[in-house]
Structure 1
Amino acid sequence: MDNRAEVREFLTSRRAKITPQQAGLPVVGQRRVPGLRRGEVASLAGVSIEYYAKLERGALGGVSPSVLDALARALQLDDAERAHLFHLAHAADGTSAGMRPRRRPGTQWTPRPALQWVLDGIRPPAIIRNGRMDLLATNHLGRAMHSSLYEREPGKVPNFARYMFFDDDARRFYSDWDTAADTCVAILRTEAGRDPYDKDMHDLVGELSTRSADFRRRWSSHDVRLHGSGVKHFHHTVVGNLELAYEGVEMVADPGLTMTIYTAEPASPTAHALDLLASWASTAITHESTMTL
């Protein structure tokens, strides 16, 4: 896989974000482009300008970890960006092809019975997704929380990215849609760097890019992130506004999958709303079971 364009755009976009003042450099003369010049990055990284120019053209194959570390420091990359740079380097020299266990083409992942028992034993909403933002498994309350995604793709595996950019309902569900959209694309960009040989990811990005200008603009920014914990705001059609803290856990037994658990502050309006949601979900399941008899 030739990822030179990806490397070039990532490095130039990070260079454009760092001002000379942030890098501790004097501002000399008029600057025609934002951020640092190539020579300034080269100097900060301790490499020649010719060598850095070669790297920025996309030639990351065979670059040593020490040079990658120096680049990360010079460009003031955060943890997610640094990991992304290393993944791009692994892809450039071909080592990423064997870094993650591959699933057989056409094989749809389903949770093991014991894993589903674990999910069902978690009281607050819990979900499992992959890096392509497919919603693969939930517990009882997690499905109720994401009922709108399941309603719009009955019989299919819901995908957060398609819902985010193709369905106007997402702007209702995500109270801060812009932030949620930024996060969604950054997760996809991170996954694309981690597993550049994933055809399903390429197909998804192509579909999103073709159909959504909002996605294309965000994708071109090359932002990445580690999505571990934080607070999200939702609006559920049945119980209203939800302010939920979340914790994401990478699944060691299933590389590439993440379990996310949402929880509310005790005795808060959201905690009460989750109780109502659980009651509503139980009623809906009872009604559905009665209808099938």
Structure 2
Amino acid sequence: MINYIWIIKNSGENLFYETFGSTIQIDESLISGLFMALNLFVKETGKGGIDHLVLKDEKFIYKNFGPIFLVLGCDRSDEIEKIKEIMVTIGNRFLEKFGNLENWNGHIKTFHQFSDILNTEFKFEDLSIFESPQLSRKEIKAELKTERRFFYKIVIVGDKGVGKTSIIRKFSKSSFEPQYNPTLGLDLIKYSYSYNLHTTFSFTAWDISGKKSYKKLRKSYYPNTQAFLVVYDVTQLESFEEVEKWIDEIRQYGKKDSVFILVGNKVDLESERKISLEEGQRKASKFNFEFFETSAKTGQNINKIFNFLGKNIIEKRKIKI
């Protein structure tokens, strides 16, 4: 029995998710992050393609369709080959309906209508009953008429210890962890926030390790990014001197509507400051970046960055909010 369907853009954006009868909720960002990491591992090792992942009570079957990949969660006893036949039909139907996504404006609502296609053309109601733990399908459709949800992908880079993870976590959880715990390769953080009464922004932040040993791995995470944050520590001159290296590394992956921001973090440590506000502004201006100084500890300017990001990404897509 099919319990879940995820449709994920090959750059990591979660486009569509539906559950069929299962009461267990799985974070979509965990699914996309897991299979993208497995894909990268397979690619680097040259050991062939990913077929499926079997857990104690369920299994997840994966198939790539070019611009998207499809993940189906099903019972452990289900026959993989039969599920794959259904996946081919679903994946091709999605691409037939929405195309190759080259001109997608980032609006998740675009794909909600695929739920009706699934339930009418594939008759999943014969397998299980659609359930929503919070709203009925009628209520969801009514809510979608007034709510506008936009998705964007953030990549945040900079030397280790500058506070990249702390900035993201301060905004998404309003918390700050004073003890430094280095990111091991990649952290994925998904968060949604209201911009105004009818507009919600959702982002997946790709918090990438600044260690030199991860340079090759990092480059696989950069494509199809709407916002890049380059972070330095205002108390560490070396991290500021490395800013141009980071800009050189990410610049080629920017899209025409990408937003680039230089961030000077840890301004709460004013007595230890080595880089002035003016120096940061000049560096940002040199590369045509936006500029903010922040404190992940106090929250200074953290909200401003993410409101600025959402608004500017939408403006560049020429969508009125």
Task: State the TM-score bracket (shorter-chain normalisation).
Answer: under 0.3
TM-score (normalizing by structure 2): 0.24
Which of the two has greater strand per residue? 2
Give me the TM-score of the superposition, normalised by structure 1.
0.25
Indicate the structure (1 or 2) with the bigger Cα radius of gyration: 1
